[in-house]
Amino acid sequence: MAITVPKKHRQRWAVAATFAAGALFLTTACTIPVSDEPPAPVAPAISLSEPDGKQGTDPIEPFSVTVDNGTITTATLTNPEGKVVESEMSADRTSWATAEVLGYGRTYTLEVEATGPGGTTQTTSQFTTLTPSNLTMPYLMPWDGAVVGIGQPVAVQFDEPIPDRERAQELITITTEPTVEGAFYWVSNREVRWRPEEYWAPGTTITVDVDVYGRDLGDGLFGEANRNVTFTIGDAVIATADDLTKTISVAVNGEVVYTMPTSFGKARTPTPNGTYIIGDRQRSMIMDSSTYGVPVSSSDGYRTRVEWATRMSYSGIFVHSAPWSLGDQGYRNVSAGCLNVSPANAQWFYNNTKPGDLVIVRNTVGGTLSGIDGLGDWNIPWETWKAGNANSGVA
């Protein structure tokens, strides 16, 4: 049966129908369909510690690679000759780094591949390490494995003047067993020494590490290489040369074992007082006064071959054989500054002393051996030595 809607209600029904249809449309248009599909995997992202093409890379800082959304399959860094640089991979293979220092002014090539759920990513990159404007090589004394005397300082000598001497000191590590307090002192603008307040104890082991490679020592001067040595202190040998008795007495570990007559420097060329460190030795050598600023032709000049020469100073003082002054030894001073002894005594001294042993000269009319002679370190008072001179004007 048909239902007749009264005319007065027909407009209301039409409006209601229109509203309902609009509401249905809005509901349908604002609904976002929900997918059950997972998001697409992201490809591995490779990050480098240095950008491609970088110039002036620090050669001692490890070059590293990290990966997100995957793991490193391969990573290789090669030098210009194609040699692979040593490296280390993390256990989870998400990071990689070089394990050796790089060369100066060298271009390195990196190839990395990483894989993950999102696929494989590959990258190739190059960088060039810094090129110093100048280099300096450190040289160490004593030599590695040496057994030296109780007066031997650590010596680090560079082949260029060092602009930032304080920085150079920071890069030198001295390790002693047993532990001993010590300090640095520059004897020139190229050479720094380190010694304790008192003489070393026999049996002490000293290790020196000079880590200057890749480090700026001032004004663009970089270390050419690192160096290290380990040496040991032997018996305590101290020779006392006394001008009052004109003798040299040699004590080993506190006990006098040998005494010999000597002749010191004459009045015009007196032997300086002070503590000397024994240096190198020569079985036979030519002594030439001109090498110490005294012309051979002068009244105090000489050019003489001597035997069994043991150096006490870099200013030219030795204990050596002097058969020409046998009658003066023990009585008069006739030398140019050296300690003249007989051939037999010179040979004994040569054979029974070592670098780093000490000779204490006293009661002469001379002054005192310079603390920066190179073998006169112990003539610098400890307070002065400990205060240091890295920032002061050294020669």
CA angle 122, 126, 130 (to 5 degrees): 150
Tell me the helix, strand and coil percentages in the chain, rounded to 5.
Answer: 15, 40, 45
Element (H, E) at 77: strand 71-78
Residue 182 phi, psi (nearest 5): -150, 180
CA distance 98 to 58: 12
Element (H, E) at 242: strand 237-242
CA distance 97 to 107: 17
Active site residue 320: yes
What residue has token string 């039409």?
14
Query: Cis before residue 196, ω within 30 degrees of 0?
Result: no
Which listed residue (320, 321, 355, 380) is catalytic?
A: 320
CA distance 78 to 224: 21
Q: How many CB atoms lie within 10 A of CB 47?
A: 11
CA distances to 9, 20, 25, 26 from 16, in Å: 11, 6, 14, 15
Per residue in 265-298, is it b (16+ CB within 10 Å) or e — as a string? bbeebbbbbbbbbbbebbeebebebeeeebeeee
Q: For residue 184, what are the β-bridge partners?
A: 194
Which listed residue (156, 208, 248, 338) is catalytic?
A: 338
Per residue in 352-367, is it b (16+ CB within 10 Å) or e — as a string? ebbbbbbbbbeebebe
CA distance 313 to 366: 15
Q: Is the dihedral of CA 329, 335, 337, 341 positive or negative?
A: negative
CA distance 157 to 191: 4
Active site residue 338: yes
Q: Which residues are catalytic?
A: 320, 338
